[in-house]
Structure 1
Amino acid sequence: MSQQPSEGTNRERPTLAVVRAARVLADAGVEGPRGEAEVLAAYVLGVPRGRLALADGLSPDQRRRFDALVARRADREPLQHLTGSAPFRHLELAVGPGVFVPRPETELLAGWGVEQARREAAPLVVDLCSGSGAIALAVAQEVPAARVVAVEGSPAALSWLRRNATSRAAVGDRPVEVVAADVTASDLLDDLLGRVDVLLCNPPYVPAGVVVPPEVSRHDPARAVFAGMDGLAVIRPVVPRAAVLLRPGGRLGIEHDDTQGAAVPGLLAGDGRYDSIADHADLAGRPRFATATRRRRTVDPRDSGGAGG
């Protein structure tokens, strides 16, 4: 039976549409179905989610559009693909097929990077595996004095990164420098050796064979998710390359899988060129990212005869 908002109209109240859609999403196994239904309703109506209860009802055309989006979400298409954007700290980033959708937990690494960059008068910040540009663009927005370099190797992801970088520069954020490169290359950013103040990286880190949600397995690029049998195929070469890019005293932050809370700090310690190594939990208490400082002096024989710096 059709649920109508009031006498004399054929519009459906947003609250009724949300309740109806939330049941569909819950039956499909979508987490937080009520919240996602609200996001979709607000998107169709063109209003902020917080104003949804005050919005006009959905017209028949809007209801058909809303129902179509709900059906796609029930088929586990990412919410961010349906709306075309993903929130990240103070940003709204354009996302879609071909680029990894930024996750809320990565905001913690970005926030740590912002804090480190603010310690410098004119910091040089590098974001490896930049994807949509989430970390790089957050730093550029929140630390206007920073020079930010974003590195990405996927042509599809690069198109999203450039689009977001252009959009943010157009509204006044400091432009981010986009570099197309493989972050595991031995000559990565050779022009920045020993000059980087803060290096951040949210690499692929899920071990091969791990079962991931349909939103990830069907829609996120596999190369942005999986990284070898132990999930460390990208992190392993990034650790030593970061050591030569960072200036003495420069800081490194790397996001990792929640099973790698000992492995990634172990790689940093084993390199011999880092100190102040620590691991940080996400809001759910799971190991999420490791940080370290480039030693001012090192006893590692691989590093310029042990003199370091």
Structure 2
Amino acid sequence: MPQHPSEGTKRERPSAAVARAARALAAAGVEAARAEAELLAAYLLGVPRGRLALADGFTPEQLDRFDALVARRADREPLQHLTGSAAFRHLELAVGPGVFVPRPETELLAGWGVEQGRRWPAPLVVDLCSGSGAIALSVAQELPAARVVAVEGSPAALSWLRRNAASRAAAGDRPVGVVAADVTAPDLLADLAGRVDVLLCNPPYVPAGAVVPPEVDRHDPADAVFGGADGLAVIRPVIARAAVLLRPGGVLGVEHDDTHGTAVPGLLAADGRYEAIADHPDLAGRPRFATASRRADGQHAGPGPAWQTASS
């Protein structure tokens, strides 16, 4: 690929390198190719994306590294694996092979959990299927009085979770408790039964056999993506266990596939221990997460109106 060095130097202007990279990424089917090319360039040059135009150009060595990163991204390796981090709400989280890369739509569930947690002066918040710790660590940062417990069963994901938890604690956030456990275990967090104020979960929920982007298919752990034949294999036991862990009036939020906008609220209603059941869309208007409150009387409900669609 031809280079266009800046006048009087051996550096290539960022604009020229980014334009070339954007074309290569677009040809490979990468969405937001220009933005991702800029992010890779900013990462390599060590500047914020917004100041990329003011940065010094690429040295020949930097240009070689940039071109190598662009080639890997064109091969559909996740951008976050290339930069080693993923943005989530107000955090930058370390991610890489072995852990699910947090998605922007999950920020809505985390934000809902933060808002709900403000109902208590010192809430106990549990994050199941924590992965990189995105939800748990966001809650801990935004609700300093909260006690937050993050549960993850994958050894590979646990290493990323512990790394991120240690980093945020060192930055001054309240430490998050990390528990290595299978979230479908019938005795999960037995010592917290009836004490949890807010329970959040972003489980594997894609139905087996569904077509997913190459970044997901080749790089996200399958056990963090696929949730059995109908995508509900983990959600079902989570709903049942959450009813045991939540205090009366405590709340549950669980992310789901965009085909589950009726199924997950239906499971919550059928359980009988929840009320105020609602489903919430993501920013694209697709069904994305369901919420419910543990019945204040702690009992099972009889038949009746089940749930509604929320506006946010």
State the TM-score bracket (shorter-chain normalisation).
over 0.9
The TM-score with structure 2 as length reference comes to 0.95
Is contact 1:272-1:298 (8 Å) kept?
Answer: no
* 2:106 counterpart residue number: 106
Q: Deviations over 1:211-250 (max 9, x none)?
A: 1000000000000000111000000011010001000000
Q: Aligned ranges for residues 106-185 of structure 1 at < 5 Å? A: 106-185=106-185
SS of 1:290 mapped into structure 2: strand
2-structure distance, mates of 1:218, 1:192: 37
1-structure distance, mates of 2:35, 2:107: 20
The CA deviation at 1:118 is 1.2
Going from structure 1 to structure 2, the CA distance change for 1:82 and 1:10 (only over 3 Å counts) comes to same
* 1:91 counterpart residue number: 91
2-structure distance, mates of 1:11, 1:299: 70
Going from structure 1 to structure 2, the CA distance change for 1:301 and 1:55 (only over 3 Å counts) comes to closer
| AA matched with 1:279 | D
The CA deviation at 1:62 is 0.4
* 1:235 counterpart residue number: 235
Q: Deviations over 1:178-217 (max 9, x none)?
A: 0000000000000000000000000000000001000000
* 1:281 counterpart residue number: 281
SS of 2:96 mapped into structure 1: coil
Going from structure 1 to structure 2, the CA distance change for 1:291 and 1:301 (only over 3 Å counts) comes to closer
Is contact 1:93-1:134 (8 Å) kept?
Answer: yes
* 1:296 counterpart residue number: 296
* 1:9 counterpart residue number: 9
* 2:60 counterpart residue number: 60
Is contact 2:274-2:300 (8 Å) kept?
Answer: no
SS of 1:187 mapped into structure 2: coil
1-structure distance, mates of 2:7, 2:27: 31
1-structure distance, mates of 2:132, 2:64: 30
Unaligned runs of 5+ in 2: 303-312
1-structure distance, mates of 2:9, 2:58: 10
2-structure distance, mates of 1:267, 1:301: 13
| AA matched with 2:61 | D
2-structure distance, mates of 1:72, 1:198: 40
Is contact 2:273-2:301 (8 Å) kept?
Answer: no
* 2:43 counterpart residue number: 43
The CA deviation at 1:3 is 3.5
Q: Deviations over 1:112-155 (max 9, x none)?
A: 00001111100000000000000000000000000000000000
* 1:244 counterpart residue number: 244
Aligned-pair identity in percent equals 82
SS of 1:277 mapped into structure 2: strand
Coordinate RMSD, CA, aligned: 1.2
Is contact 1:89-1:107 (8 Å) kept?
Answer: yes
| AA matched with 1:183 | V
SS of 2:178 mapped into structure 1: strand
SS of 2:99 mapped into structure 1: coil
SS of 1:30 mapped into structure 2: coil
1-structure distance, mates of 2:31, 2:119: 39
| AA matched with 2:36 | E
Q: Aligned ranges for residues 18-37 of structure 1 at < 5 Å? A: 18-37=18-37
Name the count of aligned residue pairs. Answer: 302
The CA deviation at 1:298 is 5.5
The TM-score with structure 1 as length reference comes to 0.96
| AA matched with 2:143 | V
2-structure distance, mates of 1:247, 1:297: 10
* 2:224 counterpart residue number: 224
2-structure distance, mates of 1:157, 1:264: 26
| AA matched with 1:198 | V
The CA deviation at 1:300 is 2.8
| AA matched with 1:154 | S
Is contact 2:93-2:134 (8 Å) kept?
Answer: yes
Q: Deviations over 1:4-56 (max 9, x none)?
A: 24322111111111100000000000000000000000011000111101000
2-structure distance, mates of 1:169, 1:121: 21
* 2:267 counterpart residue number: 267
The CA deviation at 1:256 is 0.2
* 2:187 counterpart residue number: 187
